[in-house]
Amino acid sequence: MTSVSKENYLKLIYAHKQRSNESVTTSILAQDLEVSNAATSEMAKKLYSSGLVTYRKYKGLELTQKGTKIALDVVRRHRLWELFLMKVLGLSWAEVHDEAERLEHISSEKLIDKIDEYLEYPILDPHGEPIPNKDGVMPEVPKSIKLSEGKIGTRYELTKVDDRGSDLVMYLNQVGMGLNKRIYIVEKYSFDNSVVIKFDGKELSLSEKVAQHLFIIKTN
């Protein structure tokens, strides 16, 4: 059985690879997990000895097939719990992440399969992230781009929010923004890379940091 700590490391390594298509260094993992570099290096050795990662000093970590299987299982549990908490228990999309972080580690395979069945085998979580099936296969979803990469004068739909905590989603709630919202890019400023969008008849200026964590697809 994989420990909670190992599962968190594997999930982070998987997420980093999905975002950047690069190996993740122990220093990045230490920063994300808020632990010391020494602790991360020690865990990297344990993951390597368990056959869960390949590890080259100064180069970074990559998941093996065995490590990927475990990571995808954790991702599935997390995303199904987020959707269940929101759809069935009525939590907001700003609340579900932290709760799912805890529940993902203590849920049996049977319970997760029942949740999946109850939700009728969904393919997206409340943040627009794909949910792998029981076999670890990701569903096919429309290819999106970062809001920061959108073009002025073009209409888009918000399809995903890359929020590793809850702060961004809480902010979007406050300004009335949500998934599937139709937006129009009014302006992009080169001096600070901020983006001005229009939705629901109002304009909103977003910082570069926010614009890089929102994903969109072009619409008519």
pLDDT at 1: 55
pLDDT class of 88 with cuts at 50, 70, 90: very high
What are 122-156's pLDDT values in tens digits?
Answer: 999 999 999 999 999 999 999 999 999 999 999 99
212 closest CA partner among 168, 146, 155, 158: 146
pTM: 0.89
According to CATH, what is the number of the domain 4-63? 1.10.10.10
**4-63 against 145-218: fold identical:** no
Instruction: Give the rounded percent of residues in the chain with a pLDDT score beyond 70.
Output: 98
11 closest CA partner among 142, 100, 126: 100
Which whole number is the average pLDDT over 62-85? 96
Arithmetic mean of pLDDT over the chain: 92
pLDDT at 166: 79
pLDDT at 103: 95
pLDDT at 60: 86
Q: Does 4 or 122 have the greater pLDDT score?
A: 122
Does domain 145-218 bear CATH number 3.40.710.10?
no
Q: How far from 68 is each of 15, 72, 182, CA to CA, in Å?
A: 11, 6, 35
In this model, does residue 51 exceed pLDDT 90? Answer: yes
In this model, does residue 112 exceed pLDDT 70? Answer: yes
Place of tokens 């076999």: 135
Q: How many CB atoms are located within 10 Å of the residue 207 CB?
A: 12
Q: Among 53-67, 135-149, 181-195, whose mean pLDDT is lowest?
A: 53-67
pLDDT at 137: 95
pLDDT class of 20 with cuts at 50, 70, 90: confident
According to CATH, what is the number of the domain 73-141? 1.10.10.10
Helix (H) and strand (E) counts in the chain: 8, 8
pLDDT class of 2 with cuts at 50, 70, 90: low
Please state the domain extents for the chain.
Answer: 4-63, 73-141, 145-218
